[in-house]
């Protein structure tokens, strides 16, 4: 008698090589085995809308709020970082493998940013960003770069950015697969348009507006949420 699993297995011949394809199984709460024989622990994944000025550490800071002021779930740590002057979606987990899948560039999980830049870049400037920018210590990967309208759905920043009457500002969206230290800010500065405000609005399939979390708010998610229905950009 065939096992139930075998009914999910399809066989096909690829250039005279027998291939076996097993469709993925959806698991809302993956579990990790424990060597001590106790019940396995479920992974935890938290989404935070990181407010402007918050530093990405849990230990208290003398002059700035830290993650501990917003995240009360014990044992989690940031999967990637946002610098203190950047805002938006930050994921935290208690699982090292999940943290690596989210944060490490080799996994190519796309992060989307809205950047308000100083000045008025043209199409050639966006093409330069999309091709990859030489930052001196490395060249950024090709990415998606496009103009967007001023995002009225975006919450106000406190304090607001500085405005100069004689110099316009422009909003652009960048979708990158690296997320190195201050990468977006360095990219826009390298093509002549410093970033005044930076908000991470998406990680993989997750969108901060769809999650419905205001600055300082958190929500717990299934660990597979960043990949649900998401086709990564190569």
- Residues annotated as catalytic (active site), given as ranges: 83
Separation of alpha carbons 173 and 92, rounded Å: 23
Residue 32 C-alpha from the chain's centroid = 24
- Neighbouring C-alpha atoms within 13 Å toward the C-beta of 190: 20
117, 173, 186, 103: which is closest to 145 by C-alpha? 173
Number of H helices, E strands in the chain: 4, 13
Residue with tokens 């299934």: 222
User: 128 and 149 in contact (C-beta within 8 Å)?
Assistant: no
Nearest to 207 by CA among 47, 44, 29, 27: 47
């Amino acid at each position: 008698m065939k096992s139930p699993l075998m009914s999910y297995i399809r066989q096909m011949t690829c250039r005279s090589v027998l291939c076996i394809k097993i469709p993925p199984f959806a698991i809302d709460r993956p579990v990790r085995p424990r060597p001590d024989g106790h019940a396995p622990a479920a992974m935890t994944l938290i989404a935070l809308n990181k407010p402007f000025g918050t530093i990405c550490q849990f230990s208290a800071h003398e002059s700035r709020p830290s993650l501990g002021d917003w995240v009360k779930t014990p044992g989690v740590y940031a999967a990637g970082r946002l610098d203190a002057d950047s805002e938006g979606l930050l994921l935290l987990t208690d699982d090292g493998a999940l943290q690596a899948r989210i944060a490490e560039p080799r996994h190519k999980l796309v992060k989307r940013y809205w950047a308000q830049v100083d000045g008025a870049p043209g199409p050639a400037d966006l093409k330069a960003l999309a091709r990859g920018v030489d930052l001196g210590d490395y060249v950024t990967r090709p990415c998606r770069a496009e103009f967007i309208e001023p995002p009225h759905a975006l919450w106000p920043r406190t304090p607001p950015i500085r405005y100069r009457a004689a110099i316009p500002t422009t909003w652009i969206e960048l979708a990158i697969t690296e997320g190195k230290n201050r990468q977006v800010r360095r990219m826009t500065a390298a093509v002549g348009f410093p970033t005044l405000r930076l908000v991470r609005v998406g990680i993989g399939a997750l969108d901060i507006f769809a999650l419905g979390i205001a600055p300082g708010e958190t929500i717990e998610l299934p660990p597979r949420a960043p990949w649900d229905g998401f086709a990564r950009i190569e």
